[in-house]
Amino acid sequence: MSLVRRTIERYVKLTDAEWAVVAPHWQPRDFPKGAFITRTGEVEPWFSIVEQGVQRLFVEHDGSEVCVGFAYDGSWSGVYDSFVTRTPSRFAVQAVTDSRLWSIRREALYGLYDTVPAMDRWGRLILEELLIGRATREIEQLTLDAEARYRNLIRRSPHLLQLVAQKDIASYLRMTPETFSRLRARVR
C-alpha cells in the first residue's frame, strides 16, 4: 500500500487525513504469468499501479498480435481510454510475468476526484503524462529509424530485454524479429 501513496505523491501531496480517505479504495490484484488482466472487448473497470511484474498491451491485427506497450514496476497499467469512456477495450493487457497490481475502481476514483481536491489534480496530471508519453512514442515511431528506436528502448527500459519475448519487443518497436535480433547482437 505504501507504493500507492508514494506513486500518488510523486504528483501531489496528501495529508494523512486525505490518505485515510483514499487508501481504502485501492486493492491488490495478483495475476500469474500469461493471465489476461483485460481482454479486448471488455470495459476496463480498474486504474492500476504495477507493484511487480511486466504486462504487455496488444491489439490483434491481420491475424497477429501487435504490441502497443508495456507496463512494469511503478508504472500505470490498464486500458485508460476504455476506463475513461466506458467503452469496450480495443486492446488486451496480459501478464508477461507473475504480476501484482494495486487497483482502484473507476467509480471510487471519480468519487475521490469530487471529495479530495488533491486527487482531482492528480488525475489531471496523470492524463497529461499519458498524453505526452503517447505523443512522444508516436513521433519516435514516425521519425526514428529502427536502431534509434531500439537504443531508446534500452536507455529507458533495459530490463524488458530480460523479461519480454523478443517477438513482442520487436512488435512494439515496429520491426521484424530478424531486424531486432541483428540490432540486439550489434548494439550494446
Break the chain into its structural domains and give their ranges.
2-116
pTM of the model: 0.89
Q: Looking at domain 2-116, does it have CATH number 1.10.540.10? A: no
Distance CA 83, CA 90 (A): 11
Phi, psi of 159, rounded to the nearest 5 degrees:
-65, -25
The pLDDT profile of the chain, 188 residues, written as one tens digit per residue, is 899 999 999 999 999 999 999 999 999 999 999 999 999 999 999 999 999 999 999 999 998 899 999 999 989 999 999 999 999 999 999 999 999 999 999 999 999 999 999 999 999 999 899 899 889 989 998 999 999 999 999 999 999 999 999 999 999 999 999 999 999 899 87
Cα–Cα distance between 103 and 87 in angstroms, integer? Answer: 19
